[in-house]
Structure 1
Amino acid sequence: MNNLRRLDLNLLVTLDVLLSEHNVTRAAERLNLAQPSVSVHLAKLRDIFGDPLLLPGPRGMRPTARADELREPLRRALEALERAVSPASPFDPAEARHTWRVAASDYSESTILLPALSGLRSAAPGTRLAVLETVPSRIARQAEQGEIDLAFHTTEGAPSSLHRRALFTERYVLVGRAGHPRLKKRPTLSQLCELEHVIVSPDGGGFYGVTDKALARAGLTRRVVLSVPHFLFVMSVLASTDLVAMLPSRLVRNTSALQVVEPPVDVPGFEMAMFWHERSHRDPAHQWLREYIADSV
């Protein structure tokens, strides 16, 4: 360890070239250094290793036994260091063998990952994708520790410490089963409040949401009779009952089993974004994944 502290990279590079050339003059030419500078380096190396390393011979210099021992380990170490500090090679998705881990709610799975999945499998067939449940309070820590590569979340309430890219702005629509007798036309505010509603409560058990806040500003309340934690169950409930729900529009587009109408109340929408940590910000593979997902939604 004491010898390692006395070394610098320039000395090791000089030693590698000297062990290849066995000649100070040729080594100086390869290193683009003056011959005296190479001689100074050799003197320092001899002192550090406690060995002459190279001895005068009839045709240049000949290595000592210690120098012969150093040759291959030194070459491998310098090659590894060269690979480590070289610019990252371009990412080739067709040859990639990455396993990506993303945090997503069931809404994000349906509106962001599902549209991207088929093309992702074609473009990067050797990769794998692990989808973890989003826990907003854990996103920043998971990203920092490398447990996830990306997270999908609304921009509101998301960790400010992470990089972010907005994907789209979502709005709410009123949804019920196809042929719902109360949704043949856009209901009035009072008719909306008379309907029985289901609400998605990610935290579990809540019966009050953004729609209720909007109605409260008009002095109105609605009948929320079912609270569930996931959107997938809501879709099944709506298709098989006369319950209705205010849902993000992307979730229900092109769903023949459901009827979608414009609500009679203005409910603020939200912006969806993807988030990642600085540790992977410049990684070519990660950059490719982010661009691919952004182009797919």
Structure 2
Amino acid sequence: MSNSLHRLDLNLLVTLDAMLAEQNVTRAARLLNLAQPTVSLQLGRLREMLNDPLLLPGPRGMLPTERGRELRGPLREALAALEGALSPTVAFEPLLSTQTWKVAASDYATAALVWPSLGPMRRLAPNTRLALLSKYPTDLAHDLENGRLDLALHIRDEAPPKLRQRSLVHERYVLAGRCDHPALASRLSLKAFCKLEHAVMSPNGAGFVGSTDQALAAKGLERRVVLSVPNFNSLLSALAHSDLVAVVPERLVRDEPALLVQEPPLSIPGFEMLMLWPERVHRDPAHMWLRELIASNVPGTPNPQV
């Protein structure tokens, strides 16, 4: 064993891992539940021990040196392996668990994938808690790897790489409007479809173009989009209280009595929803139970995992 390992305090490696992840002393101290001066002192010891600044002041916090960047991946893997080796594997007992799970899910993923498992979760694990959060793809991998999230439900096209994943549903689009909408009494032609006033869901705000517009553009056509809302709940409410129509995921309106649903008059590509999680919890019994609970309560769930 090298002399450097004999002199090394494992707590320093945990601090370095947090600093490389957060690139900010205050946030790293909060994550480690330590005082900021303590983290600064430990960073100083690491710099002396490794003979490198490791992180330097930057425009928005601290930036890792080349040595710091080289250390980040191997250090994260080593700490995860050590934690796994030292943590005894115990069977998860849902009835006794007081676990709080943090799951990232859009309003679509919540309605289509989380709500079906909520009843079984409350019955089988009555003392657990579930926190649902909205997260953008750029935040997902970071928050999953650092424990701020336990699980994420997201579309395949925007799934961050290097995360474990399981396919849950392949979703298709339908056309929806209020139940007594005069234009939806019979099957719409493509020309009539384009003349109607449409609403769209734009999660990033104020967008008026979606996959439907791309499919129309390929045919040299366009529709009239007059309303943009930030989530599907608002979209469905707008449809129920107006003459607007919208192209929406089928699972959101399959059993909605206030809305009339029909096939859109053109082919619109659907999307695939994934369950995403980090390597650190892949073999954790509690996490495995949660994943299986959600997957088993989604109708038509495929089995492949990677």
TM-score by length of 1: 0.71
Q: Which runs of 5+ in 2 are unaligned?
A: 8-84, 299-306
Corresponding residue for 1:104? Answer: 105
Amino acid at match of 1:91: F
For the residue of structure 1 that corresponds to 2:215, the secondary structure is: helix
Please, what is the CA RMSD of the aligned residues? 1.8
Q: CA deviation at 1:277?
A: 0.4
For the residue of structure 2 that corresponds to 1:139, the secondary structure is: helix
Q: CA deviation at 1:272?
A: 0.4
For the residue of structure 2 that corresponds to 1:142, the secondary structure is: helix
Q: 1: CA distance between counterparts of 2:247 and 2:126?
A: 37
Corresponding residue for 1:137? Answer: 138
For the residue of structure 2 that corresponds to 1:185, the secondary structure is: coil
Q: 2: CA distance between counterparts of 1:197 and 1:89?
A: 53
Corresponding residue for 1:125? Answer: 126
For the residue of structure 1 that corresponds to 2:274, the secondary structure is: strand
| Post-superposition CA distance 1:244-264 (Å, at most 9, x none) | 000000011110000000011
Corresponding residue for 1:224? Answer: 225
**Runs of 4 or more off by more than 6 Å in structure 1?**
none
Q: CA deviation at 1:137?
A: 1.2
Q: CA deviation at 1:85?
A: 4.0
Q: 2: CA distance between counterparts of 1:85 and 1:218?
A: 60
Q: 1: CA distance between counterparts of 2:295 and 2:280?
A: 20
Q: How does 1:71-220 map to 2 (within 5 A)?
A: 85=86, 87-220=88-221
Q: 1: CA distance between counterparts of 2:108 and 2:285?
A: 28
Q: CA deviation at 1:90?
A: 1.0
| Post-superposition CA distance 1:59-103 (Å, at most 9, x none) | xxxxxxxxxxxxxxxxxxxxxxxxx74740111111111000000
Amino acid at match of 1:156: D
| Post-superposition CA distance 1:207-232 (Å, at most 9, x none) | 11000000111110000000111100
**Count of residues in Structure 1 that have an aligned counterpart in Structure 2:** 219
Q: 2: CA distance between counterparts of 1:259 and 1:240?
A: 13
Corresponding residue for 1:36? Answer: none
Q: 1: CA distance between counterparts of 2:111 and 2:264?
A: 22
For the residue of structure 2 that corresponds to 1:134, the secondary structure is: coil
CA gap 1:85/1:234 in 2 versus in 1, 3 angstroms: same
Amino acid at match of 1:175: A
Q: 2: CA distance between counterparts of 1:188 and 1:241?
A: 21
Q: CA deviation at 1:127?
A: 0.4
Q: 2: CA distance between counterparts of 1:5 and 1:169?
A: 53
Q: CA deviation at 1:135?
A: 1.5
Q: 1: CA distance between counterparts of 2:248 and 2:256?
A: 13
CA gap 1:86/1:196 in 2 versus in 1, 3 angstroms: closer
Q: 1: CA distance between counterparts of 2:87 and 2:283?
A: 14
Q: How does 1:249-264 map to 2 (within 5 A)?
A: 249-264=250-265
Corresponding residue for 2:278? Answer: 277
Amino acid at match of 2:96: E
Q: 2: CA distance between counterparts of 1:168 and 1:179?
A: 30
Q: 2: CA distance between counterparts of 1:5 and 1:160?
A: 36
Amino acid at match of 1:294: A
Q: 2: CA distance between counterparts of 1:273 and 1:5?
A: 44
Q: CA deviation at 1:151?
A: 0.5
Q: CA deviation at 1:184?
A: 0.8
| Post-superposition CA distance 1:3-58 (Å, at most 9, x none) | x959xxxxxxxxxxxxxxxxxxxxxxxxxxxxxxxxxxxxxxxxxxxxxxxxxxxx
Q: CA deviation at 1:134?
A: 2.2
Amino acid at match of 1:289: L
Q: 2: CA distance between counterparts of 1:86 and 1:176?
A: 53
Q: 2: CA distance between counterparts of 1:173 and 1:192?
A: 12
Q: How does 1:19-34 map to 2 (within 5 A)?
A: none
Amino acid at match of 1:109: T
Q: Which runs of 5+ in 1 are unaligned?
A: 7-83
Q: 2: CA distance between counterparts of 1:98 and 1:87?
A: 17
For the residue of structure 1 that corresponds to 2:207, the secondary structure is: coil
Amino acid at match of 2:188: P
Corresponding residue for 1:239? Answer: 240
CA gap 1:160/1:186 in 2 versus in 1, 3 angstroms: same
Q: 1: CA distance between counterparts of 2:6 and 2:178?
A: 74
For the residue of structure 2 that corresponds to 1:197, the secondary structure is: strand
Amino acid at match of 2:105: A
TM-score by length of 2: 0.69
